[in-house]
Structure 1
Amino acid sequence: MTRTPTALVIGGTRFIGRHTVTEFREAGYEVYMLNRGTHENPFADADDVTHVTGDRTDRDALRDARDAADPDVVVDCVAYYPADVEAAVEVFADVDGYVYISSGSAYGREEIPKREGETPLCPCSDEQATDGSAETYGNRKAEGDRIVFEAAKRGVNAMSVRPCIVYGPYDYTERLDFWLDRVATYDRVLLPGDGDNVWHRAYVEDVARALRLVAERGDPGEAYNVGDRRLVTLREMVELIADVMDREIEIVAADGRELAAGDLEPDDYVLYREYPHVLDTCKLAALGWESTPLREAMERTVEEHRDSDRDGSEHDPGRDAEERVLGVLETM
């Protein structure tokens, strides 16, 4: 009798982890999840998903999950500090594949595109390694990568996946929800800059597929970028949202001087980035990975957004301020 393969997902209930559990289930795996149980479990009624309660920062909890699942592969969705990765590569040293979710933020130099093994990673000081601020996120992720690389030299089947900005159903960050709500609510949508800035994004189901493929086919000690194979500007993204929603909108771009009329700056807008952020995904594609067509990905994203109560309001620079900018632009 052929043994059913087992995957352990550290995390697993919210966004990337939730889609990763689904990806492994659909690929025929029995799935275990390790998390604290503080969020609703969408797989509570699934016969092929077992929840192990524990804190991933507790090494004993990692061991308990390992012993319960006897996993073939492990996907680590919530390793935010180097110490988390250090513990994981020790506890899961004997699995067929340990995959650490790093980030495109780990790259320490602005260049187009950013390539695995070529573009330098961010440094990470002892202070940054334990600092929980957003400013040190890339530093901490980069240090996790280096720990993975060193573990592979010791014979651990450890690999890294570096997503760029991830979007899709169940995105609790609400970054894209802000733009979805803008298009759904207003006939005139204000864009920062010229609207042509590029911040590489990755559809979440494609990220989950990448994690499985790397776990199954990746080379230990390697990192793999993941992002949409077709990049779009901010303007093109908003146009796609409008098309999927069947909305007729006017897109109005405003540079820094024009935004100042509403005491706004381009950086006040989520998913705006002055310098293009682009990841080379050829290495991942060589494993057989493909990305979902953009329209299809956006259709799924919009459908779930409409069923949710997310509106991205935490990212809102203020519609009253935008109206002042739009009023000034009308007189120019």
Structure 2
Amino acid sequence: MKTALCIGGTRFVGRHTVEELLAHDYDVTTFTRGIHDDPFADRAGVSHIPGDRTDRDALESAAAEVAPSVVIDFCAYHPREVKTATEVFVDARYVYVSSGSAYARPDVPMRENGTPIHDCTPEQATDDSAESYGPRKAEGDRAVAVAAVEGVEAMAVRPMLVYGPHDYTERFAYWVGRVAEYDRVLVPGDGGSLLHRSYVEDVARALRIVAEEGEPGEAYNVADRNAFSLSESLELVADALDTEVDVVGASERELAAVGLEPADFPLYTPRPMLVSTEKLASLGWESTPKADAVAATATAHVENGRDGAENGPARKDEEKVLEAMEETSA
């Protein structure tokens, strides 16, 4: 039996990854503090070890108890945590869940071996702010590369923004909620915002494949093989929910009239944010067709009452913009 230890594993990406590992005949152990509900509490093939990933002794105890062949680390938010993990799990294939935020410039597309990643100062390395997130993830990638030079089979995976069932951030759910409830949905600009996203089941599959086939020291991007715009996202949601939507684009000036700006809307980017996925695809990975991925996501969000309303403008403000646009065009 193949053995996998998931540092994390009970919430969003981790939850789907545990399912992916079980489907490929792994005996899985999750290592968490136990502060969130465990969907695998009574699941055959899944064990749980309580512990804090910042406690090296606890990690070493887990390593001795499980003797994992694969370790997938969802909860390393500081470079020192990655360094510790690569030391503790020296006998395993270790996969660090990094981020597309590690990239320092928005090349189109951003490539693992071509686009620079952020520098990370000592102050950033220990910080918890959103501003230091990209640098911290980048420094974790460097820790993986150093460990590989020292003989550890360590790899990094860089997902772009992840969406799918069980997404507690509800960023994509904001748009699902708008399409589910309203005939007209306001989007910034012309709706062409192109932020590369990653369907959660594709991320889970990528983590397993990299754990099995990845080259030590390397990083692998994960994102939909066919990127699609914000407007197309709404149209795909409407198709999935068997409804119709009128996507209405608003300029910066029209939004500013009610105190809004494009960045107030989730999944908006002023310029394309795209990554190359050729490297991962060369390992045999492929992404889910976009219509299927969006349909599964939209259906799950509606069934679970996720509307992400707190992630974007209030509907009353959107309606003010829509009304003003109607008056202008009348």
* Aligned counterparts of 1:314 and 1:123: Cα–Cα separation in 2: 32
Name 1:256's counterpart in structure 2: 252
- What amino acid is the match of 1:172? Y
Comparing 197-206 with 61-70, greater Cα deviation is found at 61-70
- Structure 2 counterpart of 1:137: 133
Q: Secondary structure at the match of 2:257?
A: helix
Match of 2:304 in 1: 308
Tell me which residue corresponds to 1:150.
146
Are positions 1:79 and 2:71 aligned together? no
> Which of the numbers 155, 159, 183 marks the counterpart of 1:159?
155
- For 1:126 and 1:81, the matched residues in 2 are separated by 11
Of residues 226, 233, 240, the one that matches 2:229 is 233
Q: Which residue of 2 aligns with 1:194?
A: 190
Cα-to-partner distance string for 1:186-229 (whole Å, 9 max, x where unaligned): 11100011110100000000000000000000000000000000
CA contact (8 A) 1:165 1:201 kept: yes
- CA offsets, 1:141-165, max 9 Å, x none? 0000000001100000000000000
Which of 261, 264, 271 is residue 275 of structure 1 equivalent to? Answer: 271
Task: Give the TM-score taking structure 2 as reference length.
Answer: 0.98
- Once residues 303 and 269 of structure 1 are traced to their aligned partners in structure 2, the CA distance between those partners, rounded to angstroms, is 21
- Amino acid across the alignment from 1:283: K
The answer for the alignment partner of 1:210 in structure 2 is: 206
What does residue 29 of structure 2 align with?
32
How many Å separate the matches in 2 of 1:181 and 1:237? Answer: 13
Partners in 1 of 2:303 and 2:35 — Cα distance?
Answer: 22
Q: What residue identity is the alignment partner of 2:103?
A: Y
Would the aligned equivalents of 1:261 and 1:328 in 2 still touch at CA under 8 Å? no
1:243 equivalent among 239, 242, 245:
239
**Residues 169 and 301, structure 1, Cα contact 8 Å, conserved in 2:** yes
> Is the 8 Å Cα contact of residues 177 and 302 (structure 2) preserved in structure 1?
no
**Counterparts of residues 286-297 of structure 1 (less than 5 Å):** 286-297=282-293
Amino acid at match of 1:217: E
1:17 aligns with 2:14: yes
User: How far does the alpha carbon of each residue in 1:109-148 deviate from its partner, in whole angstroms, 9 at most, with x for none?
Assistant: 1210000011000110011111111111101000000000
- Asked whether the equivalents of residues 261 and 324 of structure 1 are also in contact (C-alpha less than 8 Å), the reply is no
Aligned-residue offset at 1:46: 1.0
Deviation at 1:247, TM superposition (A): 1.2
Inter-partner Cα distance in structure 2 for 1:91 and 1:229: 35
Cα separation, 2, equivalents of 1:28 and 1:305: 29
Aligned pair 1:128/2:133, yes or no? no
Q: Over aligned residue pairs, what C-alpha RMSD do you find?
A: 0.8
Secondary structure of residue in 2 paired with 1:262: coil
Give the number of equivalent residue pairs: 328
Q: Measure, in 2, the Cα distance between the counterparts of 1:322 and 1:303.
A: 24
Deviating beyond 2 angstroms after TM superposition, the runs of 4 or more aligned structure 1 residues are none
Equivalent position amino acid for 2:21 in 1: F
Distance 1:127 1:12 in 2: 29
Residue 168 (structure 1) shift: 0.3
Q: Name the counterpart of 2:41.
A: 44
Percent identity of paired positions between Structure 1 and Structure 2 = 57
Structure 1 unpaired stretches of 5+: none
Aligned residue type for 1:34: F
Partner residue in 1 for 2:94: 98
**Deviations 1:312-332 (CA, angstroms, capped at 9, x unpaired):** 022131111111111111122
Tell me how far apart the structure 1 counterparts of residues 232 and 307 of structure 2 sit (CA, whole Å). Answer: 20
1:74 maps to a residue whose letter is V
1:320 match = 316
Which structure 2 residue ranges, 5 or more long, are not aligned? none
How far apart in 2 are the matches of 1:78 and 1:211? Answer: 14
SS, match of residue 180 in structure 2: helix
Please give the per-residue CA displacement for 1:293-322, whole angstroms capped at 9, x wherever unaligned. Answer: 111111211221122132202213111111
Please, which moves more after superposition, 63-72 or 156-165? 63-72
169, 175, 182: which one aligns with 2:178: 182
- Is 1:200–1:227's contact at 8 Å kept on the other side of the alignment? yes
C-alpha distance in structure 2 between counterparts of 1:199 and 1:272, whole Å: 7
Give distance in 1, aligned partners of 2:58 and 2:234: 43
Number of the residue aligned with 2:105: 109
Matched, 1:222 2:218: yes
Amino acid at match of 1:177: A
> Which amino acid in 1 is paired with 2:117?
L
Helix, strand or coil at the partner of 1:169: coil
